Structure 1
């Protein structure tokens, strides 16, 4: 529960300081459409055309250096990179080590189950780790240098369906309320119990907790919707216009072109 509380506090802190932190970066006045398109293009290149883990490592270091150069909040960058770009691919990539049965370098047996570690599995897990970390670095560079309202403005310019942008805005804005409800339920549950439940009964108890969470979330969502309607909400999130500057945009795009030329030379 303490972990959920820390996650909730971190997310609320991010919401409160997101615009100010983005505004202090040197890429704040870059036209957000270019930043979004460049990030998407880099993700496609990373996943479709790069197959060498050394290039992924080079891009990770390059993006980290660029984050320092444009004055992104490095503490927040590293914290989010640790959670999304390191811990997640390690947890997901560990089974890849044991899947492949070719080129086995080590094996051990647990009762009647034989578990083998293969060379191909290690290579696959290594490539998966650095590829995901590189993707997360690109996304973090975009998110920490671009306010969320500017990204939504770009979606409006690209004529995304209004229902999609509305869901994105409401999810982003009220996501922390989900954690608040969960933390309150878990704290109330701890206060009502003096001993741990048997192992088999824990699953039923967890199901009950999540049922209560669903009901409370629906009740809270109804109250929020009524409050929004009382304040004039008509089903559409108002767009906030944004005026970019030409010089930072040219420098940003120029740096991207130079990076792609370097990658092209490396592959040739």
Structure 2
């Protein structure tokens, strides 16, 4: 239950961060969507570790001037991406043939220079791309992201699915929290391990059963309030000169990388 509440608070902090003053917060969401997509593509196209390091440094600079702390990026992006891609990249340091650098004791596995380079590329691209993607989400309220996607021609079905999924996640978290809190308020003594496991299994079953009903209720509630997949906001997007400058800079980065390579 504490973890569920922390997840909800984390999402609310992200929404508040998107509404504060900063470099990225002041840009047109449509420009940010195109610009970050160009920067993510730049990270995928990069074939040089110094270029990847420069892109990662650019992401850190953007976060610094937008009020996004390194601690948040460290907890939300870097650790999880490192663990996930590290498991995938770790075998490449001994599988990829090349110049031997070091031999693992007792296992007689040879770590190669090319293998280390391949692992560094995989982890660097994943970390850089994920950092750019999270910067977009943390600096832009979610409804603005959806409206920007719709204005740029993303099909209304995709926007509707993303909007409903985002809303339904919070409804599901709220129901799970209430379910665990109601069960805990009816327990007068500490339970043993098997009893706790049975309670959790029963809660999962009940929540799964309520999921189908809740999804239908959420969809009907959104339709009854006029939702048809289109995102309507009180404030319209306005593109200013600094937005065009930011877009030109973001589009120049992949062009320079391709020219450099």
| TM-score when normalising by structure 1 | 0.74
Matches within 5 A, 1:91-240: 91-98=84-91, 100-101=94-95, 105-106=103-104, 118-119=111-112, 122-186=116-180, 194-197=191-194, 208-230=202-224, 232-233=225-226, 235-240=228-233
Paired residues of 1:18 and 1:144 also in contact (CA < 8 A): yes
Partner of 1:250: 244
Post-superposition Cα deviations, 1:70-122, rounded to whole Å, max 9, x if no partner, equal xx1223x64144322332332442353246546672155xxxxx796844655
* Distance 1:242-1:252 versus aligned 2 partners, 3 A rule: same
Partner of 2:9: 9
Partner secondary structure for residue 90 of structure 2: helix
Partner secondary structure for residue 25 of structure 1: coil
Paired residues of 2:29 and 2:145 also in contact (CA < 8 A): yes
| TM-score when normalising by structure 2 | 0.75
Tell me the distance in 2 between the aligned counterparts of 1:118 and 1:205: 48
Paired residues of 2:55 and 2:128 also in contact (CA < 8 A): yes
1:37 aligned to 2:34?
Answer: yes
Post-superposition Cα deviations, 1:36-61, rounded to whole Å, max 9, x if no partner, equal 222222222211x2133332222111
Tell me the distance in 1 between the aligned counterparts of 2:91 and 2:12: 39
Tell me the distance in 1 between the aligned counterparts of 2:105 and 2:200: 36
Partner of 2:50: 54
Aligned CA RMSD, in angstroms, stands at 3.5
Tell me the distance in 2 between the aligned counterparts of 1:220 and 1:257: 43
* Distance 1:187-1:53 versus aligned 2 partners, 3 A rule: farther
* Distance 1:85-1:235 versus aligned 2 partners, 3 A rule: same
Paired residues of 1:35 and 1:142 also in contact (CA < 8 A): yes
Tell me the distance in 1 between the aligned counterparts of 2:227 and 2:148: 21
Partner secondary structure for residue 232 of structure 2: coil
Tell me the distance in 2 between the aligned counterparts of 1:205 and 1:58: 50
Unaligned runs of 5+ in 2: none
Paired residues of 2:40 and 2:132 also in contact (CA < 8 A): yes
Displacement of 1:124 after TM fit? 3.9
Partner of 1:20: 19
Paired residues of 1:98 and 1:115 also in contact (CA < 8 A): no
Paired residues of 1:27 and 1:248 also in contact (CA < 8 A): no
Unaligned runs of 5+ in 1: 109-113
Paired residues of 2:19 and 2:139 also in contact (CA < 8 A): no
